[in-house]
A and B are shown apart, each in its own frame.
Chain A
Amino acid sequence: MDLQGFGHLLVSGTWVTVQLALASLVFGLMFGLMGAAAKLSPFRVLRYMATLYTTLVRGIPELLLVLTLYFGGSQLLMWFMGFFGYDEYIEISPFIAGVGALSVAFGAYATEVFRMAMLAIPKGQWESAYAFGMSPVQTFFRIILPQLWRLAIPGLGNLFQVLLKDTALVSVVGLNDLMRQAYVASGSTKEPFTFYMAAALIYLGLTVLATLTTQFLERRADPAGKGARA
């Protein structure tokens, strides 16, 4: 495959893609945990809000989310900041819009994964921790979260794959990610197939890497798999 000196563009684009995916993963996990907490909370208002969030976001195309946050994000943010008396112009970069849209989308799906994992942990785990005199917060961080993690990894791994592929959508609003650099390179060389194929193969490499990482984490989080007593 002859890249005609555009290889470094693809490499820099790949780096942007990886940064975008990881940043969205971090925020997406936070949204997911908060969503699951809200869905399982005793307060009806919180449960309704979380259900509204997951239903809305899971039914709307990711591309539409990216476009909305990029083209309407500054308007939305300025309106919101207006309540705090801040009325300067706020501009939203493609990267920020991308992280926002992708993490909101990831969070909606992750909410379900975390909720299912939380429900799969036996009630006795909570009760025995309380019997030892732990507070609910201590119980959550010491007893529940480590088990939650183990149960949630396979689901989260699948979601991360989806997230990785969705990063390509942010190129539509002009982020210089892998997809966009392939577009630029194919524009000046008139060889679109070569560069899109190269981009496809790099994405394939990234998803394989993500799968291997998930498998590694899965094995590491499973005490039975390491030969210890479960």
Chain B
Amino acid sequence: MSWEWGIIIEYLPRLLDGAWLTLELVLVSGLMGLALAVPISLARSSDNFWVRALPFAYIFFFRGTPLLVQIFLIYYGASQFDAVKESALWVVLKEPYWCAIIAFTLNTAAYSAELFRGAIQAIPKGEIEAAKAMGMSPPLMIRRIVLPRAFGIALPAYGNEMVLMLKGSALASTITLLDLTGMARTIIARTYTPLEMFMAAGLVYLVIGAAMIGIFRLIEYRFNRYQYYKHTPLPANIDPQLRDEHIDD
């Protein structure tokens, strides 16, 4: 088996161009998905059946079907309707870039909304009751107590979801976008070195994924810092009257 290191090095800059597009897709659709997921998860955890039903159907559909089908539904499917083609929406829907963004956004919003719903339901009842007892109105309580708490609880799982999103973004290459995978496929079509190029692309994905995990760990450390608080022991020679038997042991 011949292994062409030279070709990997020669085409690495082009591969990294593709990596930029991948990062852009993940970042843009990740942020938009987050913005979409918050209201959906709040509606999904409502006590009212009718408020809950629509987000449930949305999450059920997007979590139960492959991402590839969703991308094709938006990219190829939209062109079936003349009404769409003649409307202003067509400017957006004829671009593979925006179709990928829309599909990824809707997909990640469904998964994150389900995560946030779990987190909202995991908030200890006492904290909600305490907020109510303080006389907070529901919007104020959601803003100050529910959302920050739910975000802190969901963060580790949300980091995983973003890594899955990164892996899912490879599907953008199926609708002609030159992301990391798409770029690798283009280069392979020219040089016919599938193993070398796919391995190089895979390593770039690994590096991006590792960086994302690191960043999320930092955010988590900062956001949930109360969990990581280390109690510093008091010096041994301190005045015994200053000791608090409940705090240090």
* Residues of chain A whose beta carbon lies under 8 Å from any beta carbon of chain B: 55-56, 59-64, 67-68, 71-72, 75-76, 78-79, 82, 165-169, 171-172, 179, 182-183, 186, 190-194, 196-197, 199-200, 203-204, 207-208
Contacts and interface: CB of A to CB of B under 8 A. Distances in A.
Contacts of B66: 165-169, 179, 203
Contacts of B184: 64
A64 B77 contact: no
B202 A193 contact: no
A193 B73 contact: yes
Contacts of B168: 61
13 contacts: A61-B168, A61-B170, A63-B173, A63-B174, A64-B202, A68-B195, A68-B202, A71-B194, A169-B66, A196-B69, A196-B76, A200-B73, A204-B61
A29 B151 CA distance: 34
A203 B78 CA distance: 20
Nearest to A167: B66
Interface residues on B, range: 35 or more
Given A61-B170, A203-B64, A203-B65, A72 B195 contact: yes
A76 B195 contact: yes
A92 B61 CA distance: 34
Interface string B160-189: 000100111111011000000100110010
Contacts of B173: 63
B175 to A, nearest CB: 11
Nearest to B72: A196
A59 B210 contact: yes
Nearest to B22: A61
A191 B199 CA distance: 37
A196 B185 contact: no
B79 A192 contact: yes
- Say what secondary structure dominates the interface of chain B: helix
B65 to A, nearest CB: 4
A176 to B, nearest CB: 15
Of A59, A62, A167, A193, most buried by chain B (CB within 10 Å of CB) is A59
- Say what secondary structure dominates the interface of chain A: helix
A63 B181 contact: yes
B109 interface: no
Contact of A60 (B64, B65, B202): B202
Interface in B170-222: 170-171, 173-174, 181, 184-185, 188, 194-195, 198-199, 201-202, 205-206, 209-210
B70 interface: yes
Interface of B: 1, 60-61, 64-70, 72-73, 76-81, 163, 166-171, 173-174, 181, 184-185, 188, 194-195, 198-199, 201-202, 205-206, 209-210
Of B60, B201, B202, most buried by chain A (CB within 10 Å of CB) is B202
Of A71, A171, A183, most buried by chain B (CB within 10 Å of CB) is A71
A63 B170 contact: yes
A168 B69 contact: yes
A168 B77 contact: no
A168 B80 contact: no
A193 B78 contact: yes
B68 A179 contact: yes
Given A67-B185, A165-B66, A191-B80, 10 more contacts: A60-B202, A63-B173, A64-B205, A68-B199, A165-B65, A169-B66, A186-B76, A192-B79, A193-B73, A194-B80
Contact of B68 (A72, A168, A194, A204): A168
* Nearest 10 Cβ contacts at the A-B interface: A193-B77, A61-B170, A168-B66, A79-B1, A71-B194, A192-B76, A72-B195, A72-B194, A61-B167, A165-B66
Nearest to A62: B167
Contacts of B198: 64, 67-68, 71-72
Nearest to B172: A63
Of A55, A67, A204, most buried by chain B (CB within 10 Å of CB) is A67
A190 B184 CA distance: 30
